[in-house]
Amino acid sequence: MKNLTTIKSIGGIDADNDDLLMKCFQNHNSYNEIKDFEKFIVLGRKGTGKTAIFKRFLSNKDHTLFSFGHTFSDYPWHYHDKQAKIGVPDFDKFTHSWKYLILMSLSKILLNHDQSLPYNDSSLEYLSKIESFIVDTYGTRDPDVTQIFTPSKKLKLKSNFTIDLALIKASLTPEGLPMEYLPTVIQEINLNLIEYIIGSLNPEHSYHILFDQLDLGFDPKNPDYNNRVIGLLLAAKEINKIAKENGKKLSIIIFLRDDIYNSLKFEDKNKLTQSSTTIIEWDKPGSHSLKELLERRLTELLREKPDENVFWEDVFDESQLMTGKQSKYSYITDRTFLRPRDAIQFCNEIIKSHNLNEDRESLISNKEINVAKTDYSKYFLDELDDEIHKHVPKYENILEIIKSIGYHQFDMEDFENAIEKKKSLFSEEITTYDSLKNLFEFSIIGYYKAGGSGYGGSEYIFKYKNTRAQFEEGAKSYRVHPGLIDFLGLKRSTKPKE
């Protein structure tokens, strides 16, 4: 094994700039569930590994597996919005335009990438109809999906598309329908395309259309944003259902932050949640551990022989326990949201601290972890800011209330007294219950739950450890997440009563 000082980090926290991402990828349970067509909605907090799974699909070189990925950093939303179906419920008005985009993406795969097609005579017939429509409308077999709704394009619907001509103005013809009229015929176009695409797909091959980065532009106060995401979920659900009924291995997969998904409201959401969602979790019974993930990275960077494995204990001195009689691994992960991004960042800060320590030993010590945690705590709060500020605009002021309490453990009375003293920070009424609930939903605090006969021991409940946990209104005691204690300058004890 190489000396630890030969490396500066164990990788990046951003999946787009992490050279070790694919080399050290783990087949997480969520990855397996969507690969095996069991689920199609992947939920998780920022940094849990959604984009890693997205990139894993796109990097697969198997000649029987085809994937097309959408990220929306450069997607022309304004053209997409113009395709909203009029006269349908708000949550359904974008469903048909999402279907059209999905079907265009599938058409690109069928016409340009799957060399097994056509796999029989009927597939040949369906494929020729798809090609005719795509080439006539977009001038190429391989159109740019970011341009499919642009006004310069004209829909050219020949006799192989069944369209109700009554939907089209008398002055127009199906052979050259301006894109602005797509909403009037989109439902019928989609029905034709779905039939042709499903008929073309090779039943021995797997096809995936993936959607990531849907949190870009997220605005909980903008109903159109929510309706767009709901429309995508409904479109994916319907296309996946049709594919399954026809014995084809096709899946439309959606990666979404769980806080965004939880904020959506639409009919039959609970059924969809139970049947189609998978949550990326780490260090839970039956799931992968962050230790495995970190050891893969350490092995990739520090091994000197191809078959050499580097384990946690080869790098961290676990012979000496941290404060609270914790192992170094438990101490580090307790200060994360149990997600790869946090664990990697904390380890990067620790390695930096180790390399700067002139009195360092060969293994990482308690001192080096304690030095690193201040910078890590600032990172942790900055990451939290990205998730919470749109949901709770005044959350920084609520943190100031906790900061003024001065202790990492407090009760309802402490919080109410601190609010009374800090009311000048708020332009409107602030309630104790709503403030504590918001802090709990984003795992800034956990509440104390007493154990009892048959219910296990007493514990502090944090949302990140149990995504299905609900805030308990009657809770008496609260504790701040350990990853925030240092940055907020809190004492590690309970606030004494005056």
Tell me the per-residue pLDDT of 434-467, one tens digit each, with 9 for 90 and over: 889 999 999 999 999 987 444 556 899 999 998 8
Residues 6+ apart with CB under 8 A from 481: 335, 443, 444, 445, 446, 462
Q: Are residues 259 and 344 in the same domain?
A: no
pLDDT at residue number 170: 63
| Mean pLDDT within 225-241 | 94
Asked whether the beta carbons of 69 and 52 are under 8 A apart, the reply is no
Q: Report which residue type is found at 267.
A: E
Q: Which two tokens stand for residue 121?
A: 């005579």
Whether residue 295 sits in one domain with residue 271: no
For residue range 411-435, list pLDDT tens digits in order.
999 999 988 888 888 877 788 888 8
Rounded to whole angstroms, the Cα distance separating 493 from 479 reads 10
pLDDT band of residue 74 (cuts 50, 70, 90) is low
Are 294 and 413 in the same domain?
no
- Please give the angle made by the CA atoms of 280, 285 and 288, to the nearest 5 degrees: 50
d(CA 373, CA 484): 10
The reply to whether 3 falls in a domain is no
pTM here is 0.89
One domain for residues 139 and 36: yes
Query: What pLDDT, on the 0 to 100 scale, is given for residue 204?
Result: 96
400 and 473 part of one domain: yes
Among 19-23, 73-77, 289-293, 366-370, the minimum mean pLDDT is found in: 73-77
Is 261 inside any structural domain?
yes
Cβ neighbour number for residue 18 with a 10 Å cutoff:
21
- What is the number of structural domains in the chain? 3
Domain match, 205 and 348 both: no
Going by their DSSP bridges, the two strands 249-257 and 206-212 should be labelled as parallel
pLDDT at 296: 93
Q: Does 144 share its domain with 69?
A: yes
Q: Is residue 371 part of a domain?
A: no
Residue 359 within any structural domain of the chain:
yes
Same domain, yes or no, for 267 and 324? no
Q: Are 103 and 68 in contact (CB under 8 A)?
A: no
Rounded Cα distance between 370 and 42, Å, is 35
Same-domain pairing of 342 and 456 = no
Give residue 271's identity as a one-letter amino acid code: K
Say if residue 160 is in the same domain as residue 246. Answer: yes
Considering the domain architecture, whether residues 270 and 404 belong to the same structural domain is answered as no
| CATH number, residue 480 | 1.10.10
- Residue 95, classed as helix, strand or coil, is helix
Q: Which domain holds residue 157?
A: 27-279
Is residue 129 located within the same domain as residue 243?
Answer: yes
